């Protein structure tokens, strides 16, 4: 089966070369690494092009309208991933951050589970900016999937860099709702409604934590209570609309 790895990039020059290298070594000739770049102003694009690898597909994302602001909004990350997913042609889809490192058996292990499950999520280890492991496991205990809509809304758990899924999920997940915040939760919740999902406790990613990360880390969130409440309510109604209202309209 053809594999599509979808990566969102934005000013990731410091770490992206190591991440791309860890991915390409696991892909076959007919697989693809799609990188959607959101107007990077550093050397990110030059580093991507330096690989000169036909499996890499670089696409531009034009939704970044930050005008020099340092903070990168969550919804732009999701929109950037959507841009890459729209190009994906594979039967198996992997999500990738720009600054992590994939363990050498990630593609092999997750692909084997996707023969039975619609979506699989692994554990990961956490590393710092110098590749030093600061936590062996991202999750403090074994996760049981599926979790159900309400539990996924109250405490989002799906972690994009750790999941892979089959095209059937992508067909329902796209297009993303407007200003989607938690694209990984969106994909995970929809996968649960479509079929079987699985969590495995193998640590298959070295997940990097540093000051520029846009994704969350274990512990207390830095986002305000109002922000957390608002995006959870929005996600709930986005899921309900996609699963019930949109599907109902398509059957008419």
Q: What is the pLDDT of residues 7-26, one digit of tens each?
A: 999 999 999 999 999 999 99
Establish how many alpha carbons lie within 13 A of residue 82's alpha carbon, considering only the half-sphere containing its beta carbon.
22
pTM here is 0.89
- Say yes or no to pLDDT of 153 above 90: yes
- Say yes or no to pLDDT of 38 above 60: yes
Q: What is the pLDDT of residues 196-245, one digit of tens each?
A: 999 999 999 999 987 555 444 444 556 787 878 888 998 999 999 998 87
- Where residue 73 falls among pLDDT bands split at 50, 70, 90? low
Q: What is the pLDDT of residues 89-119, one digit of tens each?
A: 999 999 999 999 999 999 999 999 999 999 9
Is the Cβ–Cβ distance between 165 and 87 less than 8 Å? no
Number of H helices, E strands in the chain: 9, 9
Phi, psi of 116 (to 5 degrees): -110, -35
Please give the Cα distance from 182 to 150 (Å, whole number).
15
Burial class (CB within 10 angstroms; exposed 0-12, middle 13-18, buried 19+) of 117? buried
Please give the Cα distance from 238 to 18 (Å, whole number).
36
pLDDT number for residue 141: 82
Q: What is the pLDDT of residues 164-186, one digit of tens each?
A: 999 999 999 999 998 888 999 99
Please give the Cα distance from 135 to 124 (Å, whole number).
9
Q: What is the share, in percent, of the chain residues with pLDDT greater than 90? A: 77
Q: What is the pLDDT of residues 61-72, one digit of tens each?
A: 986 554 444 455
DSSP assigned state of 128: -
Chain centre distance of CA 214: 12
The domains found in the chain, sorted by start residue, are 3-251 (3.90.550.10)
Closest to 10 measured CA to CA, from 56, 74, 54, 53: 74
pLDDT number for residue 17: 98
CA angle 169/175/180 to nearest 5° reads: 100
Residue 6: its H or E element: strand 3-9
Closest to 187 measured CA to CA, from 217, 222, 154, 161: 161
Is the Cβ–Cβ distance between 139 and 123 less than 8 Å? yes
């Amino acid at each position: 089966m053809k594999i599509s790895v979808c990566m969102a990039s934005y000013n990731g020059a410091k770490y992206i070369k190591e991440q791309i290298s860890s991915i390409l070594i696991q892909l076959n000739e007919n697989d693809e690494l799609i990188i959607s770049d959101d107007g990077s102003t550093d050397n990110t694009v030059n580093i991507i092009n330096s690989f000169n690898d036909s499996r890499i597909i670089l696409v531009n994302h034009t939704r970044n309208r930050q005008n020099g602001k340092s903070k990168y909004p969550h919804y732009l990350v999701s929109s950037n991933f959507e841009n890459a997913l729209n190009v994906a042609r594979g039967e198996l889809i992997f999500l990738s951050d720009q600054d992590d490192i994939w363990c050498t058996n990630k593609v092999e292990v997750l692909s084997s589970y996707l023969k039975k499950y619609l979506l699989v999520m692994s554990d990961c280890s956490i590393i710092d900016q110098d590749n030093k492991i600061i936590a062996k496991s991202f999750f403090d205990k074994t996760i049981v999937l599926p979790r159900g809509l309400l539990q996924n809304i109250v405490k989002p758990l799906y972690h994009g860099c750790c999941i892979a899924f089959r095209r059937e999920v992508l067909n329902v997940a796209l297009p993303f709702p407007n200003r989607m915040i938690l694209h990984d939760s969106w994909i995970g919740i929809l996968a649960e409604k479509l079929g079987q999902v699985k969590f495995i406790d193998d640590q298959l990613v070295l997940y990097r934590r540093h000051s520029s990360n846009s994704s969350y880390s274990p512990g207390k969130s830095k986002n305000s209570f109002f922000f957390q409440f608002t995006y959870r309510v929005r996600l709930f109604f986005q899921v309900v609309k996609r699963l019930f209202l949109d599907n109902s309209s398509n059957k008419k």
